Structure 1
């Protein structure tokens, strides 16, 4: 028996089911990991862009403050 090549059709239904389940579960595991990585990257990008906006606003406020102070001194 072992010397004969085993075809899928020769497997019992339960063996086929086990094989299919193991393939599906490994695909699902891999997919979940990829999805989680993408979500983390998106989250990181969002945090970075939010920080950039905060920096821009802070810079603008500081610049405006300096301009106003200069005007005050000049007047």
Structure 2
């Protein structure tokens, strides 16, 4: 019996723009616009951009703070 961790059991730490768009239910172009404006932080690995899952959560949390109280 092996104690090896299967890749499917690991939390996803980095997301592509496409994956982040799917999570946020917005288009990929909007994700790139948010990254370009600095609203959504990202990291560069070689020529690729990735979004840390913690930065995606921070972005969503910041949306709540921008919403005016009723």
TM-score by length of 1: 0.27
| Structure richer in helix, relative to its length | 1
What TM-score, normalized to structure 2?
0.29
Of structures 1 and 2, the larger Rg is shown by 1
Q: Going by fraction, where is strand more abundant, 1 or 2?
A: 2
Q: Relative contact order (C-alpha < 8 Å, sep 6+): which is higher?
A: 2
